[in-house]
Amino acid sequence: MSDHSDDQSPAPTDEAPTETPIQRALREKQEAIAARPKPPRGGRFQREQARRIKTGAARPWSSK
């Protein structure tokens, strides 16, 4: 005479049923931020950013 209700756990779902509206809003916000286009990585652009050189400063003739 064992109780089988303790043996079974609820099936995992995509969304937790206990997610509050605030948690849902935060999750959606983080997903939107992650989906934004990322700045280029590596190369000259990153080196200039690391040195805090304004992009295009090496070509003063182009800033007229």
Domain ranges within the chain, ordered by starting residue = 19-52
pLDDT at residue 49 greater than cutoff 90: no
Give residues with Cβ within 8 angstroms of 27, minimum separation 6: 19
Q: Which residue would you say has higher pLDDT here, 26 or 62?
A: 26
Q: What is the mean pLDDT of the chain?
A: 74
Which of 20, 24, 21 is closest to 32 using CA atoms? 24
Q: What's the token pair of residue 55?
A: 């992009």
The count of other CB atoms within 10 Å of the CB of residue 48 is 15
pLDDT of residue 48: 76
Neighbours of 49 (CB within 10 A): 13
Q: Which residue has the higher pLDDT, 57 or 42?
A: 42
